[in-house]
Structure 1
Amino acid sequence: MKHRFMVRAMFVLLALVCLAIVYYLRSPIGQVLLFGSLLIAFWAYVRHIRKQAATERKQLLASVQRTATATLGHHRHDWMNDLQILYGYIQLRKIDKLVDCVERIKGRMAVESKISRLGIPSLVFYLQSFREVNSSVQLEVDIADDLQLGTLLTEADAEELTEAIMETVRAFQYSGRSSWGETLQLKMLLYLEDEEVVVRFDQLGTAGNRELLGQHMGGWMTAGRIRAEQLDSEYSSLRLRMACGKMNEVNACL
């Protein structure tokens, strides 16, 4: 989008320069030469912008591919650990611990399934690859019922909500820890309430710089369709609310 704006701006600037040349320069040959030179310069600039945009797209794609590959590797590692634990319990004939382990695996699979059905690709990718790109935060995700945000929010609202979630986690990451060496324990709950999508964040453990977190939240949540609510004086619990832009469509289909 930025590159397209730059190309349009350069085209307008070139047109103005050409008009000025035609007005002040009386020699037809000089007008043709200068106009041709400007066209060549403009063509070279457009080619450079397109090449730069293609390079940026390739770099972004490579970054996403690396993140996805590392995420799959982590999931595979987790499954291998779970299988080894199950195999150990089977060998030791510890049926009670075996049942608990299976229930824990089922719970994690249920959460992963709910995340994949949220309906917002950017949010799904962010949550599923979170551990790979945010090693200093241990995020526990809980999704109430079978929440599908793609059917409740418009595309613009979905992008704004995803950005709000990422910014909130980032705010906790840099402001919610008492020391840089510790791992932040953060729980995120998504649910639907009064035709609004609600995202609640609860930090577990010791409190960090709450004043800095409050300033951060108050600064960027003043605009847009998202409302931020402080649930306690320590800023250890926050809640984001966004009205469902497609709720009328959903109700009409019911």
Structure 2
Amino acid sequence: MFQRIRAPYLALGSILIPLVFSLLYPEGLTIIILAVWSVAAACFGMWYMHRQAENERKAALRSLEHTAIATLNHHRHDWMNDLQVLYGYIRMNKHDKSADYVETIKERVAEESKISKLGIPSLVFYLQSFRVNAGNLQLSVQVEEHLKLDAVMSPEDGESLASAVIETVRAYQYGGGRSSWGEVRRLTLFFGMDQNDVIVRFEGSEIPADSNFLKKVRSVHGSERIRTEKLPTGEMLQIRMECQT
């Protein structure tokens, strides 16, 4: 990493060599060499930084592809489990349990459909792929009927809200109190509207009540129009953002 950062600066710094010679021997040839050297160093620096930016873009794309593949594998695994459970009920002639389980699947698919229609790609991708790196946190998401965030806020505000939601989940995941070894903690997100505001409610049994956690959450929110509120129940945190389409 240090080598990647240092290379273009070394190229630009090398201009000092012909510069010193031009000061000591101010002749036409020395000045020409200085000019050629400067152009070559500048071109090398620009080429090197462009190559590094391209490599970083490819690395980010590979990471995104790996996450997408892992997410698809998780969904495939879930569907295989569902089919096995249904097959077991059918073989045992437990048709009432089969019908109940189908309704459970329908509810889960309907909720995932609502998530996919939120309209903020980065937020949708994060929520749909959360289980890949969930650790010991189980995340449940509930979305108000017919809610489409891209219809009530600008793309910039949508990205600000997505960042606030993601960072709040991370703050709870990594700083929201301790759990016993092997214990799965649960966090529920609710997306909805309150008049002209978008609200995102976080409900978890271990949301810290101290002010330090609230300050930490507020510090990662990039927009001044995003307000974080601790609800009276003590187990809920709420993000509120005014819509400005």
TM-score of the superposed pair, with normalisation by structure 1? 0.82
- Whole-angstrom distance in 1 between the partners of 2:48 and 2:85: 56
Q: Is the 8 A contact 1:22 1:31 kept in 2?
A: yes
Q: Is the 8 A contact 2:117 2:148 kept in 1?
A: yes
Counterpart residue number, 1:133: 133
Counterpart residue number, 1:245: 244
Q: CA deviation at 1:107?
A: 0.7
Counterpart residue number, 2:94: 94
- Whole-angstrom distance in 1 between the partners of 2:202 and 2:122: 19
Q: Cα deviations across residues 63-100 of structure 1 (Å, max 9, x unaligned)?
A: 11111001000100100100111111111111221121
Q: CA deviation at 1:227?
A: 0.7
Q: SS in structure 2 opposite 1:64?
A: helix
Q: Is the 8 A contact 2:154 2:244 kept in 1?
A: yes
- Whole-angstrom distance in 1 between the partners of 2:23 and 2:150: 56
Q: For the aligned residues, what is the CA RMSD?
A: 2.9
Counterpart residue number, 2:195: 194
Alpha carbons of structure 1 residues 148 and 34: separation in structure 2 relative to 1, 3 Å:
same
Segments of 5+ residues of structure 1 without an aligned counterpart are 1-12, 14-20, 247-254
Percent identity of equivalent pairs:
41
Deviates more, 1:192-201 or 1:24-33: 24-33
Deviates more, 1:114-123 or 1:92-101: 92-101
Counterpart residue number, 1:226: 226
Deviates more, 1:133-142 or 1:218-227: 218-227
Q: Is the 8 A contact 1:227 1:240 kept in 2?
A: yes
- For 2:106, give the aligned amino acid: K
- For 1:193, give the aligned amino acid: D
Q: Is the 8 A contact 2:207 2:236 kept in 1?
A: no
- Whole-angstrom distance in 2 between the partners of 1:23 and 1:30: 9
Q: CA deviation at 1:176?
A: 1.9
Q: CA deviation at 1:178?
A: 2.6
Alpha carbons of structure 1 residues 61 and 240: separation in structure 2 relative to 1, 3 Å:
same
- Whole-angstrom distance in 2 between the partners of 1:180 and 1:26: 75
Alpha carbons of structure 1 residues 128 and 90: separation in structure 2 relative to 1, 3 Å:
same
Alpha carbons of structure 1 residues 222 and 126: separation in structure 2 relative to 1, 3 Å:
closer
Q: Is the 8 A contact 2:160 2:222 kept in 1?
A: no
Q: SS in structure 2 opposite 1:32?
A: helix
- Whole-angstrom distance in 1 between the partners of 2:120 and 2:221: 21
Deviates more, 1:236-245 or 1:170-179: 170-179
- For 2:100, give the aligned amino acid: D
Q: SS in structure 1 opposite 2:204?
A: strand
Correspondence 1:74-153 to 2 at 5 A = 74-153=74-153
Alpha carbons of structure 1 residues 77 and 170: separation in structure 2 relative to 1, 3 Å:
same
Correspondence 1:158-173 to 2 at 5 A = 158-173=158-173
Q: Is the 8 A contact 1:176 1:210 kept in 2?
A: no
TM-score of the superposed pair, with normalisation by structure 2? 0.84
Report how many residues are paired: 232
Q: CA deviation at 1:174?
A: 1.7
